[in-house]
Amino acid sequence: MTRKNRRLVALALILTGVALATALLLFALRQNVTYFMSPTDLVSTSARPLAGGRPIRVGGMVVYGTVKRDGTITRFTITDNENNVVIEYDGIVPDLFREGQGIIATGTINDDHVFIATQLLAKHDENYMPPEVAKAMKPHYDAIEAKKQ
């Protein structure tokens, strides 16, 4: 084998290794992606295949009068002022969790269209809203404001 051929083989092996490592990395990251949706996105028919069994995040405001506690299970409804999603969480809720509070829940949606949360995150104060929640809810708030005028 000539010197030129050895270089070509070495280059081909290096490129193959880099391509394989990139493919494995992308596959591993794909398994850990958690999509964010608003209640309206989650209710829409186009989002149902995406939500089928995969963990997703849904964010909105806790509707007043919907928080029900039964032992460690907390059931409540969140809204983006257009659609509502019922959430069920088994565990200790964050200290900042309350009605009228913005939250993000991570979990899956079941066949009864109840979101089974495995994690709840409450926003820090009444002025802070995570950018992803603000972006997802902005079109719905704009539509409500337009109806008021």
Detail the residues annotated as belonging to a binding site for heme: 124, 128
Binding residues: 124, 128
- Rounded alpha-carbon distances, angstroms, from residue 112 to 14, 40, 42, 97: 51, 16, 13, 24
Distance CA 119, CA 93 (A): 9
Q: Which two tokens stand for residue 111?
A: 């066949």
The b/e string for 41-69 (b: 16+ C-beta within 10 A; e otherwise) is bbbeeebeeebeeeebbbbbbbbeeebee
